[in-house]
């Protein structure tokens, strides 16, 4: 990554007194993490060492790095379910993932602020390193470790996966977006959300409804004989989830659509279901 290389070059040029990595021969990510070891502790030596080891082996890649994440960096902590391996909570992580070192601000540049994560209890305080090693080898990303200050339970922080299909499926992608839109009508919001939560696979996206702001339409024309409007929809319908951009890939941009009024505010849900 370009930014990274440039940062490191400026860093080594500007500060000859800064410690260099024996392996990389410059101030790599491992050195930057190491410099910060004195500023945090989990309160458990084994956990500290485990986290530090992942950071010391980062060098030029932060993807597999774990962090110590203080519990107050989460909000909207919600209990989801109890599994054989313990309780699972969902929360928003204020800071999000480390992206690269921002030399100007002398701090990590992060992305995915307020991302959804799951918090899972670690169950074996006496053998926590083994438990962590096992968990680290599962397919989804573990971001770090935290501790509930009330229960004193240590918890791993991992991607918010679906409890039905065990993946970051289509329902999860929709769900993570619920906070960013509202129709202004509770029942309509629920109806749309339910249609989005009921599908977990590529094919199910066809049946998901969306809330579409009115300004996403143009050339809106009244068609008297149908008592409805014809319009072009700028965005077009969702085709699939694009992991790289972390957004929906759409198709049929500017497609023609018909806008029909809903006439019965009191029975609006029945009316929508009948239309569908």
Q: Which positions touch Zn ion (CB under 5 A)?
A: 21, 23-24, 28, 30, 59, 162, 164-165, 169, 171, 200
Pick 42 or 55: Cβ nearer Zn ion: 55
Q: Which is nearer to Zn ion, 8 or 128 (CB)?
A: 8
Please identify, using beta-carbon distances, which residue of 98 and 122 lies nearer to Zn ion. 98
User: Minimum Å distance from CB 164 to Zn ion?
Assistant: 5
Report the nearest approach of Zn ion to the CB of residue 68 (Å). Answer: 21
3-class DSSP assignment, residue 21: coil
CB of 201 to Zn ion, least distance (A): 8
Q: Output the smallest distance, CB 130 to Zn ion, in A.
A: 27
Which H or E run includes 231?
Answer: strand 228-233
For the CB of residue 265, give the shortest distance to Zn ion in the complex, in Å. Answer: 33
In degrees, to the nearest 5, what angle opens at C-alpha 224 toward C-alphas 219 and 230?
Answer: 25
CA 247-251-255 angle, 5° bins: 130
Instruction: Find where tokens 């918890």 sit.
Output: 155
For 171, residues 6+ apart whose C-beta sits below 8 A from its C-beta are 162, 164, 196, 197, 198, 199, 200, 204
Q: How far apart are CB 57 and Zn ion at their closest, in Å?
A: 9
d(CA 197, CA 203): 13
d(CA 42, CA 129): 13
Left, alpha or beta for 114 (phi > 0: left; psi -120 to 50: alpha)? Answer: left
Closest CB to Zn ion among 59 and 73?
Answer: 59
Between β-strands 115-121 and 107-111, what pairing exists: parallel, antiparallel or unpaired? Answer: unpaired
Are 120 and 105 contacting, i.e. CB atoms less than 8 angstroms apart?
A: no
If the CB atoms of residues 28 and 145 are measured against Zn ion, the closer one turns out to be 28
Hey, is 188 helix, strand or coil? helix
Q: How far is the CB of 169 from Zn ion (least distance, A)?
A: 3
Looking at the Cβ atoms of 5 and 270, the one nearer to Zn ion is: 5
Q: Assign 3-state DSSP to the chain and report helix, strand, coil percentages, each to 5.
A: 35, 30, 35
User: What minimum distance in Å lies between the beta carbon of 163 and Zn ion?
Assistant: 8
Q: At what angle do helices 45-56 and 128-136 cross, to 10 degrees?
A: 30
Of 157 and 169, which has the nearer Cβ to Zn ion?
169
Question: Between residues 115 and 128, which has the closer beta carbon with respect to Zn ion?
Answer: 115
């Amino acid at each position: 990554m370009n930014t990274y290389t440039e940062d490191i070059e400026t860093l080594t040029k500007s500060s000859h007194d800064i410690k260099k990595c024996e392996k990389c021969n410059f101030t790599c990510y491992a050195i930057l993490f190491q410099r910060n070891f004195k500023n945090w502790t989990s309160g458990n030596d084994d956990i500290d060492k485990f986290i530090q080891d992942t950071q010391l082996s980062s060098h030029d890649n932060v993807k597999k790095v774990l962090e110590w994440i203080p519990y107050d960096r989460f909000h909207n902590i919600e209990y989801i379910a109890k599994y054989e391996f313990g309780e699972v909570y969902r929360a928003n992580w204020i800071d999000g993932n480390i992206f690269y070192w921002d030399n100007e601000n002398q701090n990590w540049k992060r992305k995915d602020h307020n991302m959804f994560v799951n918090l899972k209890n670690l169950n074996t305080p006496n053998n926590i390193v083994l438990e962590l090693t096992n968990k680290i080898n599962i397919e989804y990303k573990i971001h770090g470790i935290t501790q509930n200050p009330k229960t004193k339970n240590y918890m791993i922080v991992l991607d918010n996966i679906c409890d039905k299909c065990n993946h970051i499926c289509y329902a999860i992608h929709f769900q993570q977006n619920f906070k960013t839109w509202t129709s202004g009508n509770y029942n309509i919001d629920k109806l749309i959300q339910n249609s989005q939560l009921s599908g977990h696979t590529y094919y199910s996206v066809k049946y998901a409804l969306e809330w579409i702001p009115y300004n996403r339409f143009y050339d809106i024309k009244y068609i008297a004989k149908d008592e409805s409007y014809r319009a072009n929809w700028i965005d077009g319908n969702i085709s699939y989830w694009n992991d790289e951009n972390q957004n929906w890939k759409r198709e049929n941009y500017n497609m023609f659509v018909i806008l029909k009024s809903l006439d019965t505010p009191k029975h609006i849900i029945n009316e929508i279901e009948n239309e569908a």
